Amino acid sequence: MPASATLPHGLFASDTHTVRCAWCQATPAYQHYHDHEWGFPVADDRRLFEKICLEGFQAGLSWLTILNKREAFRRAFCEFDMDRLATFDAADVTRLLGDAGIVRHAGKIRSVINNAQRARVLRDEFGSLAAYFWRHEPQAASRPARITLAAIGAMPSTATSAALSKDLKRRGWSFVGPTTLYAFMQAMGLVNDHLEGCHARDAALRARAAFKKPA
């Protein structure tokens, strides 16, 4: 494999000569997340709800910061069980503000509780969160012909993520702006934004081809 210096912008080669998207270069844990989670399609409601909550917490921070705290978030928020979280009250908010393992932001904590309540309504309407979110998968014709760093950088949000954001806000969700939701779509495999040349791109494409979209 070529050295990182000779690779297209946005890629790097690790010590094992594996070519990856450069954003995951910082730590082995970040690279594992990139290789095995980011961009691979997800139909599990708990994982989808967890991710949309954590994307809300990421606002103003890096995803690596949130990833490093993910296990603490899971403990604090009942493994992102929306039914349990929907019953949280002001005392729980106060308790969570004292948890040094998570991002202690009152608005974002309250948003998780609110969104859990809204998510249950959404689940009742569509049968699952997965069925709702996968209705918003972008059409192939709306995607760049080649996924390069320049192409990704040109679309921190899209018409699809903007429409999804608008609909969720109409339904009472919070911390679900278009850019946040595009990051959610990238991570949960609704789009495959592994760059051309990244070793994980083909694996994500195969996973998408085998994926059965929720009805």
d(CA 155, CA 13): 25
How big is the CA angle at 18 (ends 12 and 20), to the nearest 5 degrees? 45
Closest CA to 20 of 157, 210, 202, 207: 202
212 — phi, psi (to 5°)?
-95, 110
Closest CA to 30 of 62, 74, 67: 67
User: Among all residues, which ones are annotated catalytic?
Assistant: 33, 55, 63
